[in-house]
Amino acid sequence: MLFLRFIGTFLGILVATTAYSAGSPIDQYKQMGSAAALAESCYNSKKIPESLNQSIKEAVAKNPSIEELMNTLIAAYNEAYEYAILHNQIWNGTQQSYSKPFTCSVPEDSKFIMNVEASIIESLNNKKGVE
């Protein structure tokens, strides 16, 4: 199980903006955490945590004043990751609830998970360097 664990201070805020994660930054980090869990579980992908980790590292130098907020967001990510591993569900910020359970072997489910992951990665990549 791959949690986002950072040595030192958690700084920076970077939010994925997918339709499935509409809502607060907490909702968006929960969506990233749950999607990361299913992507890793289904096809051993670690793209979301790797990209998010890199984005946060880059943000550290830019804004050292939001440590408390970052700790809260990472906690939400980790909580949703753990939940998703157990229940195979992705957080939906619009509905303020977890999705139906997904099954990796079902092509439609696998495609959905891949699409959510790709959307998050694209959003993270587009926000690099944006203040």
Round the average pLDDT of the chain to a whole number and report it: 80
The predicted-structure confidence for 72-103, as pLDDT tens digits, reads as follows 889 999 999 999 999 999 999 989 999 999 99
- Compute the average pLDDT of residues 43-49: 95
Domain-located, residue 14:
no
The three-state secondary structure class of 117 is: helix
Domain-located, residue 64:
yes
Q: Are 77 and 4 in contact (CB under 8 A)?
A: yes
Q: Which residue has the higher pLDDT, 121 or 126?
A: 121
Identify the domain containing residue 105 by its residue range.
Answer: 20-127
Domain-located, residue 48:
yes
Return the structure tokens found at 56.
């946060």
- Compute the average pLDDT of residues 110-116: 96
- pLDDT value of residue 130: 43
Domain-located, residue 54:
yes
pLDDT above 90: percentage of residues in the chain: 53
Domain-located, residue 61:
yes
The predicted-structure confidence for 16-42, as pLDDT tens digits, reads as follows 334 455 578 999 999 999 999 999 999
Domain-located, residue 47:
yes
Q: Which residue has the higher pLDDT, 93 or 56?
A: 93
- pLDDT value of residue 111: 96
Domain-located, residue 92:
yes
Domain-located, residue 11:
no
Q: Which residue has the higher pLDDT, 44 or 125?
A: 44
- pLDDT value of residue 63: 82
Q: What is the dihedral of CA 102, 106, 109, 113, to 10 degrees?
A: 90
CA–CA distance, 63 with 98 (Å, rounded to integer): 32
Separation in Å, CA 39 to CA 12, 19, 66, 89, 96: 24, 18, 29, 11, 21
Number of domains composing the chain = 1
